[in-house]
Structure 1
């Protein structure tokens, strides 16, 4: 072997007693071809002869053991097996127990052919992500197609002093395996060696008819095990429409006890120093600001933009935040540190606030999880101001506006860091403003069209557009708008393949204004269009503008048995005016068509104004967001979005060509339409 000296991040040794011990002969006996394995291999599916996984938890460590044997029948699988990486956290040790192959019925030890390198896992440090993680690179030489690879390893995370939360509480989510693999034998064991009981709950398991089974919570005392075992197994989950079955394991507790555990930890931090003591210069700036609205805006933006966000993976393992005085002095901290500082500042200016625990990535699943502080991976600040609730993420940058104009954070579940709290669901939301307010004017004269767009963005849209214009080349921005208009004006159907720069001449886009209090970002686009009309194969001409962003394809196409549709669309307003020097059909069905939709989850209205040489449509869209659409109401929700897509998301006018024959042709068409 190329690594005679073992270092602290990995070891080559026998498994721990709790993991058990398996002999070489027992391994060979378990790797037997059967009718089931032959069928899978014949179908080109990778096959795992057996997978034995164990998870062990105590008050001093968490450990995971895996023993498996699988085929290397695919070149890609062989490549992945030959070179692999294992990431270990601080104080975590990766142990190799066995690396072997079964080749032509002979068991061959591959540890002598294994090369191991330990590297720093710091590839994101420039983005403020600090970690003591190590990357263990494992290279196994002379693996061959049709070998059966046998891996037996484990990883042990011993708790350091700052892992006080992991010492006190356990949290583990077992997810059923990928349904790409077929397993001859599949076994998972959870071992509780903690002093406290572990609760577990099987979620999204199904009966033979595919119906989700009732949720039941069971318990493991110290020394007890939970085992799930399958033979000749392929996970039957319909991955595109069903949630993979999972089992949540957590130290038995309830939300009130957990909030009472965590609240004093934060409370001590908040009360240790006053803002005047450690930040007199900041206090002086706050005192000089007239108006509570402006003070609140300054406080939020100070912490967001002047305190550098550092995600320290090791510190995030616990929940004890850095002291605000240290965060202020160093001008850096993680989400807990930044939120703690923001709360201390808000306390000083007399704004009611609290720190709340969230997990944006698994927000949907938190309602199914057992109560656990380890279900959360992020901290934000809840602000109660003038009778409204607001949530502020102190880790983002370049967000602006008075509190009511700032960007909206989408999530549902949170735990407030106060005594006697339970898991809360956030209220649904209606925007008090239009996130997009756009006015489009397209005037066609002779063979030329003049196109103008005036757009106002607010909230999240303003923040996003501000960043986009700041970081993107002007030519690229114009090309992006041109490309959007190429489809919106339906030119993709009569001049596809044409360079868009040759269609939209003298295209220009400019920032009109950027109001940092209203959080309004206004732009203006203009271009000259040669041949402004869309011409169909029958040589009929049309002036069209349809904004496909108004059609919510994700709502129309959504299909899932378990996940409800998460509603997070922006409020929008459009005024589209199309004018020409030609005569138009003022009675054409889709030109005059209007719509009014009053769905419980959105209101949509389009109104038309028709003249002899043009038309205008006024569109308003008001959604109720930050909620899940119940499945029994979703089809009506989808149907109403289909109505929007039925020519109610823009405007088209038909040109009546000049000349007696064209007029007769038009009248004949109208008569027999």
Structure 2
């Protein structure tokens, strides 16, 4: 083996006593072909003869053990098995117990053919993400197609003094396995060796008809084990439409107990430090801002933009927040540190606020999890101001506006860091402004069209567009708008394959204004279009402008049995005007068609103004967001979005071609339409 020095991040040793020990002959006996294995191998899939997984938790460590044997019949799996990476956290040790192959009935030890390298896992350090994680690179020589690979390993995370939460609380989520694999034997064991009881909750398990069963909650005392074992097993989950069954294991607690545990840790920071004591210059700057609205904006943007965000993976899960004086002095900190500093500043200026725990990535599942502080991976600040409730992510940069104009953060569940709290659900939200307010005007004269757009973005849209214009090449921005116009004007159907730069001549896009208080970002786009009309195969000409962003395809196409639809669309307003020097059909059905949709979750209205040489459509879309659409109301919600898509998301006008014969043809078509 090519490892002259044993490195502390990994070891080669026998398993711990709690994991058990499997002899060579026992391994060989478990790798037996059967009608079940042959069926799946014949289908061209790799096959796992057995998977034995154990999770062990105590007040000193968390450990995970795996022993498995699977075929290498597919070249892709052979490649992945030959070179693999294992990421270990600080104070975590990866132990290799066995690497072997069964080849032609003979068990061969592959540890002598294994090369191990330990690398720093620092791929994102330049972006402020710090981690003392290590990447253990494992290369196994001379693996061959049709080998059976046997891997037995474990990883142990020993707790340090900084891991006070992990010492006190345990959390582990078991998720049913990938449904690509077929297993001859599948076994999972959870071992509780803690002084505290561990509760476990089985969720999204199904009966034989595929119906979701009610969640089950049970308890493990110290020394007890939970075991799942299946023979000839394939996970039956429909991965595209169903949630995989999972079991949440967590130290038995209530949300109130947990909030009472964490609140004093933060309260010490808030009460111990006064802003004037450690940041007198910042206090003076705040005092000099006469308007309270602007003072609040200054406080938020100071922490967001002047305190560098460092995500330290080792500090996030289970560590106390950094003292605000240190954060201010060093001008850097993680989300906890930045939020604590922001709250101290808000306390100084007399704005009511609190720190809340969230997890944006698993927000939907928190309601199903057992109460645990380890369910959260992020911290934000909740602000009460002028009778309204706002949430501020102190780690965001380049966000602007008075508090009512700032970007909206989408999430539902949170735990407030105060005494006697329970898990809270954030309410639905209706935008007090239009996130997109766009005015389009297209004038066609003779063979040339003049296109103008003026668009005002607010809230999240303003922040995103401001960043986009800051970092993107101007030519690329213009090409992007040209490409959008290519489809909006329906040119994709009569001149597809044409370079958009040859269609939209002299295209220019400029920033008109950028109001950092209103958080309004306004742009203006102009272009000249030769041959402005869309022409169908029958040589009929049309002026069209349909903005497909108005159609919410994700709502129309959504299909899932378990997940409700998460409603998070922006409010929008459009005024689209099309003018021509030609005569138009002022009675054409779709030209004059208007719509009013009053769904409980969005209101949509389109109104038309028709003249003999043009038309204007006024569109308003006002959604109720940050909520799930109930399943029994979703089909009506979907159908209403289909109505929007039925020619109500823009405007089209038909040109009546000049000449007596064209007029006769037009009248004949109208009569028999």
1:180-213 C-alpha deviation (Å, 9 max, x unpaired): 1110000000000000000001110000000001
Q: Secondary structure at the residue paired with 1:624? A: strand
1:445-494 C-alpha deviation (Å, 9 max, x unpaired): 00000000000000000000000000000000000000000000000000
Q: Secondary structure at the residue paired with 1:156? A: strand
- How many Å separate the matches in 2 of 1:205 and 1:318? 31
Displacement, 1:575?
Answer: 0.1
Residue in 2 that maps onto 1:262: 262
- How many Å separate the matches in 2 of 1:355 and 1:326? 18
Q: Secondary structure at the residue paired with 1:210? A: coil
- How many Å separate the matches in 2 of 1:604 and 1:268? 50
Displacement, 1:393?
Answer: 0.2
- How many Å separate the matches in 2 of 1:317 and 1:432? 36
Residue 225, structure 1, aligned to residue 225, structure 2: yes
Residue in 2 that maps onto 1:480: 480
Displacement, 1:5?
Answer: 2.5
* Structure 2: segments with no counterpart, 5+ residues: none
Displacement, 1:123?
Answer: 1.2
Displacement, 1:342?
Answer: 0.1
Displacement, 1:318?
Answer: 1.4
1:17-45 C-alpha deviation (Å, 9 max, x unpaired): 00001000000000000000000000011
- How many Å separate the matches in 1 of 2:318 and 2:202? 27
- How many Å separate the matches in 2 of 1:185 and 1:200? 23
Q: Secondary structure at the residue paired with 1:179? A: coil
C-alpha contact 2:202 2:245 (8 A) present in aligned 1: yes
- How many Å separate the matches in 2 of 1:98 and 1:185? 19
C-alpha contact 2:575 2:616 (8 A) present in aligned 1: yes
- How many Å separate the matches in 1 of 2:21 and 2:213? 35
* Structure 1: segments with no counterpart, 5+ residues: none
1:562-582 C-alpha deviation (Å, 9 max, x unpaired): 000000000000000000000
Displacement, 1:150?
Answer: 0.1
Displacement, 1:271?
Answer: 1.1
1:105-163 C-alpha deviation (Å, 9 max, x unpaired): 00000000000011111111101011110010000000000000000000000001100
Displacement, 1:273?
Answer: 1.5
1:69-102 C-alpha deviation (Å, 9 max, x unpaired): 0000011100000000000000000000000000
1:226-257 C-alpha deviation (Å, 9 max, x unpaired): 00011111100000000011000000000000
Residue in 1 that maps onto 2:157: 157
- How many Å separate the matches in 1 of 2:468 and 2:129? 23
- How many Å separate the matches in 2 of 1:482 and 1:229? 58
1:601-657 C-alpha deviation (Å, 9 max, x unpaired): 000000000000000000000000000001000000000000000000000000000
Displacement, 1:319?
Answer: 4.0
Q: Secondary structure at the residue paired with 1:314? A: helix
Structure-2-length-normalised TM-score: 1.00
Displacement, 1:320?
Answer: 1.0
- How many Å separate the matches in 2 of 1:5 and 1:659? 92
Q: Secondary structure at the residue paired with 1:361? A: coil
Structure-1-length-normalised TM-score: 1.00
- How many Å separate the matches in 2 of 1:617 and 1:471? 34
- How many Å separate the matches in 2 of 1:28 and 1:4? 31
- How many Å separate the matches in 2 of 1:210 and 1:142? 44
1:536-570 C-alpha deviation (Å, 9 max, x unpaired): 00000000000000000000000000000000000
Q: Secondary structure at the residue paired with 2:625? A: coil
Displacement, 1:179?
Answer: 0.3
- How many Å separate the matches in 1 of 2:665 and 2:438? 37
Q: Secondary structure at the residue paired with 2:550? A: coil
C-alpha contact 2:71 2:149 (8 A) present in aligned 1: yes
Displacement, 1:7?
Answer: 1.5
Displacement, 1:216?
Answer: 1.5
Displacement, 1:4?
Answer: 3.6
Residues 361-380 of structure 1: matches in 2 within 5 Å? 361-380=361-380
Residue in 2 that maps onto 1:295: 295
- How many Å separate the matches in 1 of 2:135 and 2:601? 47
Displacement, 1:375?
Answer: 0.1
Note the aligned Cα RMSD (angstroms): 0.4
- How many Å separate the matches in 1 of 2:317 and 2:244? 26
Displacement, 1:400?
Answer: 0.1
- How many Å separate the matches in 1 of 2:392 and 2:124? 25
1:504-553 C-alpha deviation (Å, 9 max, x unpaired): 00000000000000000000000000000000000000000000000000
- How many Å separate the matches in 2 of 1:185 and 1:266? 47
Displacement, 1:51?
Answer: 0.1
- How many Å separate the matches in 2 of 1:315 and 1:614? 63
Displacement, 1:382?
Answer: 0.2
Residue in 2 that maps onto 1:514: 514
1:272-320 C-alpha deviation (Å, 9 max, x unpaired): 1110000000000000001100000000000000000000110112141
- How many Å separate the matches in 1 of 2:134 and 2:579? 64
1:358-385 C-alpha deviation (Å, 9 max, x unpaired): 0000000000000000000000000000
Q: Secondary structure at the residue paired with 2:430? A: coil
C-alpha contact 2:162 2:319 (8 A) present in aligned 1: no
C-alpha contact 2:101 2:110 (8 A) present in aligned 1: yes
Q: Secondary structure at the residue paired with 1:207? A: coil
- How many Å separate the matches in 1 of 2:210 and 2:77? 32
C-alpha contact 2:71 2:146 (8 A) present in aligned 1: yes
1:327-367 C-alpha deviation (Å, 9 max, x unpaired): 00000000000000000000000000000000000000000
Q: Secondary structure at the residue paired with 2:454? A: strand
- How many Å separate the matches in 2 of 1:290 and 1:471? 34
- How many Å separate the matches in 2 of 1:122 and 1:114? 24
